[in-house]
A = this chain, B = another copy of it.
Amino acid sequence: MERMLQYTEAIREAADQEMERDESVLVFGLDVDDPKAIQGTAKGLLSKFGAERVFGTPLSEDAMTGAAIGMALAGLRPIHVHIRMDFLMLAMNQLVNVAAKSRYMFGGKVSIPMVVRSMIGKSWGQGAQHSQGLYSFFMHVPGLKVAAPTTPYDAKGCLIAAIRDDNPVMYVEHRILHFQKGPVPEALYTVPPGKARITAKGTDVTLVGISYMQVECLRAHHYLAETGIGAEVIDPIWLNPLDIETIVESVRKTGRLFVVDNGWTTCGASAEIAAQVVEALQGVRDIRVKRMGFASVTCPTTPPLEDLYYPNARTIAAAAHSMVNGASKEWMPEERKDLQSIEFKGPF
């Protein structure tokens, strides 16, 4: 029988096994060594590997990111952990101006094998500054790889691939995905950069769901099935390098691209995917394109507005339905218990 693990446990195991395998791997960041160990993703690592390899830091995101780069220059493979992606805004100078550029601007003389883990928050009033999915920034800048695994299987495989990669990898987690359970082999394996996965088959519309929105897209697939619409769902897994071919092939078949992102649409991952698919299929076949993401506002904390702020399975299904059947045929599925979102309960 397949071994089932929670997403957080898959991350923990990947780090644990890689640290066992390779002395140059270390984990640090605010609170990785505290009793909560970043939702358990770093649990037990301190006692197993010691305080030189697993350590909490002062609140100094800028310097600690710079330090991670310095460690990588010296041949270590640091995993730098941030409990919120929002906090990476303090580290942008080192990420964009140094990590992404060092190899190129030094003519290939160095490489920066570092992993930056960060989490996207959602719900329970996390609000303006604890909920952003800002990975399009990292997609924009050449020299950074970006992984956004959605299943425990991919969480483990992407993290191992990221650790072994000789380049800086931004590893994007989502607080709600942390609760996902799924099959995870005990053995070491990688989910390598640049390969997307078709997670549900269909011929009417291609749903690309990024990060947590992958889960909502899979739920939307079920809602849509009720109306006879076959949605092909794709999980890009890696946003850079991006496996655009798999998406293009699907849209070549379905004629409809619907990208649902876990971030804002403007200059976001959904804009890029839409543009690339159009570029690839123009003159080949007439297609329809749609994007959905966070509402173009700051994330509000009050639940009724927050509900509207995020796409969900039903709003996704409704939009896909009108792509297929025309906007005139309005339809919104009744909420199904088995397809409800996990309700995250605070404090945080």
A274 contacts the other chain (Cβ, under 8 Å)? yes
B104 touches A143 (CB 8 A): no
| Interface hit among A7-15, A24-32, A132-140, A150-158 | A132-140
Minimum distance in angstroms from A324 CB to a CB of chain B: 13
A59 contacts the other chain (Cβ, under 8 Å)? no
B264 touches A267 (CB 8 A): no
User: A298 touches which one: B132, B143, B269, B300 (CB < 8 A)?
Assistant: B143
A4 contacts the other chain (Cβ, under 8 Å)? no
A122 contacts the other chain (Cβ, under 8 Å)? no
Annotate A261-288 by CB proximity to B: 1 below 8 A, 0 otherwise: 0011111111110110011001100111
Annotate A65-93 by CB proximity to B: 1 below 8 A, 0 otherwise: 00000000000000000000011011011
Binding site secondary structure of chain A = mixed
A51 contacts the other chain (Cβ, under 8 Å)? no
Q: Cβ of A288: which chain B residues have Cβ within 8 Å of it?
A: 282-283
The answer for the CA separation of A140 and B139 in the assembled complex, in Å, is 12
| Interface hit among A110-118, A178-186, A289-297 | A289-297
Interface size on A, residues (CB 8 A): 53
B129 touches A97 (CB 8 A): yes
A225 contacts the other chain (Cβ, under 8 Å)? no
The answer for the CA separation of A86 and B95 in the assembled complex, in Å, is 12
Minimum distance in angstroms from A340 CB to a CB of chain B: 28
B86 touches A264 (CB 8 A): no
B298 touches A105 (CB 8 A): yes
A308 contacts the other chain (Cβ, under 8 Å)? no
Determine how many copies of this chain the complex contains.
Answer: 2
B266 touches A140 (CB 8 A): yes
B267 touches A291 (CB 8 A): no
Annotate A55-70 by CB proximity to B: 1 below 8 A, 0 otherwise: 0000000100000000
User: A140 touches which one: B100, B129, B264 (CB < 8 A)?
Assistant: B264
Q: Given A89-B93, A266-B272, are A128 and B142 also a contact pair (CB < 8 Å)?
A: no
A101 contacts the other chain (Cβ, under 8 Å)? yes
Q: Given A275-B274, A282-B288, A283-B288, are A300 and B136 also a contact pair (CB < 8 Å)?
A: no
Q: Given A92-B92, A298-B100, are A127 and B142 also a contact pair (CB < 8 Å)?
A: no
Q: 7 nearest interchain CB pairs?
A: A104-B298, A105-B128, A89-B93, A136-B267, A271-B271, A89-B92, A92-B92
A and B contact pairs by CB, cutoff 8 A, 28 listed:
A89-B95, A90-B93, A92-B93, A96-B132, A96-B134, A101-B128, A104-B300, A105-B128, A105-B300, A137-B267, A140-B263, A140-B267, A141-B264, A142-B266, A142-B296, A142-B298, A143-B298, A240-B266, A265-B275, A271-B271, A271-B272, A271-B275, A274-B274, A275-B291, A278-B289, A279-B289, A283-B288, A286-B286
